[in-house]
Structure 1
Amino acid sequence: MKQKIKHVFFDLDHTLWDFDKNSGLTFEKIFQMNCIEVGLEDFLPIYEPINFKYWKLYREEKVTKSALRYGRLKEAFDAVGVKVEDEMIHNLSDAYIDNLSTFNHLFEGTFETLDYLKDKYHLHIITNGFEEAQDKKLTASNIKQYFKTVTNSEMVGVKKPNPKIFNFALSGAKALASESVMIGDNIEADIEGAHKIGMQTIHFDYKNSDFNHGYKRITNLKMLTEHL
């Protein structure tokens, strides 16, 4: 690190909380509950890039929260050729949010890494996820107690990479950008967004894409002990 770090900010989904695994288990549960006959092996490879696309649109203020929740399911069902009525899509959308935090798999090394960092730094969360879901995830996965502050995009009214959410989080943490590092999986939202306001960054490349983007990069959380 170029300057002494005092504050460590984490993204939540895809960084500490294993979104892909937990999301797949949630779909398996709600499909069974609602007698939706589609195999996860067919649905998830279609849904995941559609979901990624909608979240990018949501970050860019091009779709609303409700449009994201409906559109990602509608488009995925259409793509796999399964007819699902709008009323059921809305029911599934609500059931997905309600049940998502009943699965709380974390990335390997999460507890060990947070235990290593907690006495050396002030730890914080900055997340674009929906407020009601993110608080449940933090609590149910038993990691909420590690964090001094949790900043959610719905609290600020903007989403990463908008500088306002990073500045809001820094203000709430009483932290200087130059003494802070942001750790996240999304280059655009987490890394470029934080870098532009003067924070140091570490990209969590959990898919091990090995793309050379010029930022510090780790492929598992335990590697943070080499940087912090």
Structure 2
Amino acid sequence: MFDHQVTDVFFDLDHTLWDFEKNSALTFAKILVDNKVNVDFDGFLEIYAPINMQMWALYRENGISKSELRYQRLKQTFDRLEVLVSDEVIDKLAHDYILHLSSFTHLLPNAKEALEYLYPKYRLHIITNGFQEVQTKKLRGSGIHHYFQKIIDSEMAGVKKPHPYIFEMALEKAQVDPKNSLMIGDNVEADILGAKAMGMQVLHYNFHKDSDHGECIMINDLIEIKSIL
């Protein structure tokens, strides 16, 4: 299935193991009510989701800072909804979102089953572009932190996937050759192309229902890992 023996498996976290969409929606359901923001909830989520993706793409390319990402994704959503929300309230929502997000612990279907299967056979690690103060809480809260030997995030590395250095740091910390490593993630540019450029083997978890890109094996359910590794 793969060109070389795999000894180490590196996972992305959000949209790959941790159910970002569900946990994010639950967080907003809480903080919008707590902050008395009167908005159509389904309409808010529908507009917020693509804006958040755009902001993250800009953040990966160093087009915006962490604080700008947190502010702009909310500001632009409220502007599109034509709902007037003060900067003070937006800043409070941005703070509360980070505070409460990791308290929701839903994983994607079969994430734990896949990790249980892999854990005795491979060394497992995380490479994430998420924020350091949040990602560890997500892993601990959802009960999967103990599966992973090394957890590398973009704030620790000083760069974000697909930059080569974050993969280089991860490989160095895990003390493994790229050719014996497998990266599993949902984002073609950040996870798949980024890891391939470093000589790692790759597996695309097709969370976003992308069309077949021919870059690597693609799976639509994490349980399929059992038939591949």
Contact 1:113-1:221 within 8 A present in 2 as well: yes
- For 1:19 and 1:213, locate their aligned partners in 2 and report how far apart those are by CA, in whole Å: 26
Q: In the alignment, which residue of structure 1 is the partner of 2:199?
A: 198
Q: Are 2:91 and 1:100 equivalent residues in the alignment?
A: no
How far 1:85 sits from its partner (Å)? 0.2
> Counterpart of 1:181 in 2: which secondary structure?
strand
CA distance in 2, matches of 1:211, 1:52: 20
> TM-score, normalization: structure 1?
0.98
Using the alignment, how far apart are the partners of 1:168 and 1:147 within structure 2? 16
- Looking at structure 1, the residues matched to 137 and 40 of structure 2 have their Cα atoms a distance apart, in angstroms, of 27
Secondary structure of the equivalent of 2:14?
coil
Q: What is the percent sequence identity of the aligned residues?
A: 50
Q: Which residue of 2 aligns with 1:177?
A: 178
Once the 2 structures are TM-superposed, how far is the Cα of residue 227 of structure 1 from its aligned partner?
1.4
Q: What CA distance in whole angstroms lies between the structure 2 residues aligned with 1:140 and 1:19?
A: 13
Shift of 1:161: 0.1
Residue 75 (structure 2) aligns with:
74
User: Which residue number corresponds to residue 35 of structure 2?
Assistant: 34
Kept after mapping to 1: 8 A contact 2:186/2:208: no
Cα shift at 1:22: 0.5
What is the distance in 1 between the residues matched to 2:189 and 2:211? 16
SS at match of 1:23: helix
- 3-state DSSP class of the match of 1:37? coil
Alignment partners' CA distance in 2, 1:223 and 1:56: 28
Q: Which stretches in structure 2 are left out of the alignment for 5+ residues?
A: none
Give me the whole-angstrom Cα distance separating, in 1, the residues matched to 2:159 and 2:8: 22
Alignment of 1:43-58 (within 5 A): 43-58=44-59
Q: Alignment length, in residue pairs?
A: 228
Q: SS at 2:18's partner residue? A: coil
Q: Which amino acid aligns with 1:131?
A: Q
Distance 1:213 1:72 in 2: 32
Q: Secondary structure of 2:127's partner? A: strand
The 5 Å alignment of 1:82-121 reads 82-121=83-122
User: What TM-score, normalized by structure 2, do the two folds share?
Assistant: 0.98
Question: Within 2, Cα distance between the matches of 1:58 and 1:120?
Answer: 35
In structure 2, the partner of 1:63 is 64
Q: Deviations over 1:62-120 (max 9, x none)?
A: 10000000011000110011110001100000000000011110011111111100010
1:157 and 1:214 map into 2 onto residues whose CA distance is 27
> Moved runs in structure 1, 4+ residues, more than 6 A?
none
Give a deviation string over 1:115-142, Cα, whole Å, max 9, x none: 1000100000000000001011001001
**Partner of 2:3: helix, strand, or coil?**
coil
AA aligned to 2:218 is R
Q: Which amino acid aligns with 2:173?
A: G
CA distance in 2, matches of 1:83, 1:35: 13
- Alignment of 1:9 onto 2:10: yes
Q: For the Cα contact (< 8 Å) 1:207–1:219, is it kept in 2?
A: no
Q: Distance in 1 between matches of 2:78 and 2:65?
A: 20
Q: CA-to-partner distance for each residue in 1:46-75, whole Å, 9 max, x for gaps?
A: 111100001011000110000000011000
Report the Cα distance in structure 2 between the residues aligned to 1:39 and 1:108, rounded to whole angstroms.
28
| 2:167 alignment partner AA | F
What secondary structure does 1:20 align onto? helix
List alignment gaps of at least 5 residues for structure 1.
Answer: none
Q: 1:209 deviation in Å?
A: 3.5
